[in-house]
Amino acid sequence: MPTYYLYLAIAIVTEVIGTAALQSSSQFTKLWPSIITVVAYAVSMYFLAVSLKYMPVSIVYAIWSGLGIVFIAIIGWFLFKQTIDAAAIIGISMIVAGVLVIHLFSNSTAHS
């Protein structure tokens, strides 16, 4: 696996951590979740920027935001007991399908 996918994976994971901490911060009224949010987003933006050295912004952003949506929806369901209806599940499945199409079939996932 190319290194730039590792950079993108770190960006995705830290963005998801930041978003989950944002929910826990109660609109930045709780100190530690607020600090985690800011640090996680900063790390995510750094690794997102590094991945842009190797991949086009459209592809990076589609994968980063798409997988971030999927993972935070799952975390919201399990951790925060938020409901996900059939329409949301269908939409999230379409996002996953889109990321797979980009990864498996697109020739524009990397540049020099």
H-helix or E-strand spanning residue 22: helix 3-24
Q: Answer whether residue 111 shows pLDDT above 70.
A: no
Instruction: Tell me the C-alpha distance between 21 and 2, whole Å.
Output: 29
Find out whether 7 and 45 touch, Cβ atoms under 8 Å: no
pLDDT of residue 21: 98
Q: Averaged over 49-69, what is the pLDDT? A: 94
Q: Answer whether residue 112 shows pLDDT above 70.
A: no
pLDDT of residue 44: 98
Domains of the chain, residue spans: 3-105
User: In this structure, what DSSP letter does residue 30 have?
Assistant: S
Instruction: Indicate the SS3 state at residue 85.
Output: coil
The residue type of 93 is: S
User: In this structure, what DSSP letter does residue 40 have?
Assistant: H
Give exposure, 21-47, as e/b (b: 16+ Cβ within 10 Å).
bbbebeeeeeeebbebbeebbebbeeb
pLDDT band at 103 (very low <50, low <70, confident <90, very high): confident
Dihedral of CA atoms 26, 29, 31, 36 in degrees, nearest 10, equals: 40
- What pTM value is reported for the model? 0.90
